[in-house]
Amino acid sequence: MVERTSKFLLIVAVSVCFMLILYQYVGPGLSLGSPSGRSYSEELDLFPTPDPHYVKKYYFPVRELERELAFDMKGEDVIVFLHIQKTGGTTFGRHLVQNVRLEVPCDCRPGQKKCTCYRPNRRETWLFSRFSTGWSCGLHADWTELTNCVPGVLERRESAAAKAPR
């Protein structure tokens, strides 16, 4: 009899613990109301007023963030891909040269990391990234280095392509 009672108490204790854990994980997602009468999202607002010590360093107007640019691959436009470490840039850069459906897909040869991405009907590149041009501007070039380096590299590549026999 004592054995049955202890098993029953054990089952009740485990059930109560399970219900408490379940309530902690599932309860916050449900709108069960709160004791203070405010909504759950209002209670989560840690900083209801702006922090007076926070200084906004960069201001991006909404119209700038939502603007649309037309990219003309057949024209003179070039996409310069700024690779930033530890942000998934390697995966995205590889995706640009291997998986994007284009009129003239990038030519990626097995065993090479670099792919040639030419414009339709011309031997000029439309993409400036480490997967299409290599480390032309140095290892992990930042915005300033790319701004100073890209025009010269593109001019050298175009002049070399113009001199090469077809």
DSSP string covering 44-102, please? T-S-SS--TT--------HHHHT------TTTT--EE----TTTTHHHHHHHHHHT---
Annotated catalytic residues are 140
Query: Rounded distance, CA 89 to CA 82, Å?
Result: 8
Average pLDDT over every residue of 143-162? 81
**Where along the chain do its domains lie?**
76-163
For the ranges 35-49, 71-85, 129-143, the lowest mean pLDDT is seen at 35-49
pLDDT by residue (tens digit) across 1-50? 667 788 888 999 999 999 888 888 776 666 555 555 555 555 555 556 66
Q: Does pTM surpass 0.85?
A: no
